Every structure is written in C-alpha cells, then in structure tokens.
Amino acid sequence: MDIVVYSTNTCPICVKTKELLTKWNLPFEQKMIDEDRSLMSEFSRVAEGARTVPQITIDGKWIGGFSDLTELHMDGFFDL
C-alpha cells in the first residue's frame, strides 16, 4: 500500500495524521508543500483542487483528509 500525505510544517492536523499512520504501522511518504513549492501543482491536481492539508492518497487515489483517513480505519480498510 502506497500512502502519501501532503502536509505543511505549521499544520497540527498533519502532525496528528502522521502520528496515527505511524501508530497503525502504515508506512507513508510525506510531501511538504511548504518546503517544496514545486509540489503545489501536484498537490492541487491530486487533491482535486482541495486547499487544506493534510490531503492523503492511497495507491495513487485521493482519499481526502484526516477525517476520511480515520473513517477508512474504522471501516477496516487497513485490516490485513
């Protein structure tokens, strides 16, 4: 499973998202859009115009933000 988290250094929900993924033993790649401005066009395209962070993709499919991630977890999406 390929998880990408688009985030910024000033976003507390981004921190919480990454902490949860770590707690759930789900490896992820973080893309810091405030450190690398060239990621902004990718972020906008992948997140279908969303302007808030975090935004998360799983296997290249945009799933949304923190609440969407926790809903997937509660629904058993990450159970192996």
Domains and CATH numbers, the chain: 3-74 (3.40.30.10)
Q: What single string gives the DSSP state of each residue in 51-73?
A: -SS-EEEETTEEEESHHHHHHHH
Residue 80 has pLDDT above 80, yes or no: no
pLDDT, tens digit, for every residue of 44-72?
999 988 889 999 999 999 999 999 999 99
Nearest one of 8, 7, 1 to 56, comparing CA atoms: 7
Nearest to 46 by CA among 35, 27, 37, 59: 59
* pTM of the entire predicted model: 0.93
